[in-house]
Structure 1
């Protein structure tokens, strides 16, 4: 069974970026997350990560369209 929530380090591994990059994405509001527990540990719902990835694909496609490769 797949966990519903991921640690920031799990998200970093999934996206192949650093933990600090994921923390910045969460703190900036770009990647939705929740704080839980007395120590306020961050968790990202797997479905929110998938939505984030789809949004980034759309943003990248739009950017590519607006910035064609000129050879």
Structure 2
């Protein structure tokens, strides 16, 4: 069984980016997350991460269509 919630470091590893990049995505609201516990540790739900990835694929495809490669 896979964990429902991921640490920001786990998300960073999945996306192959830095922890600070994931923190920025969370703080900007681009990647939904929750703060839990008295120390306010961030957690990202795996389903929300998958939705984010799909949204990025759609946004990238739209960008590619609007900006064709010209040789």
Length-normalised TM-score, structure 1: 1.00
Q: Secondary structure at the match of 2:69?
A: coil
Alignment length, in residue pairs?
Answer: 71
Q: Distance in 2 between matches of 1:48 and 1:34?
A: 11
Q: CA RMSD in A?
A: 0.2
Runs of 4 or more, structure 1, over 3 Å off, are none
Q: Distance in 2 between matches of 1:44 and 1:38?
A: 17
Partner of 2:26: 26
Q: Secondary structure at the match of 2:29?
A: coil
Q: Could you list the runs of 5+ residues in structure 1 that have no partner in the other structure?
A: none
Length-normalised TM-score, structure 2: 1.00
Q: Could you list the runs of 5+ residues in structure 2 that have no partner in the other structure?
A: none
Deviation sequence 1:15-63 (CA, Å, 0-9, x none): 0000000000000000000000000000000000000000000000000
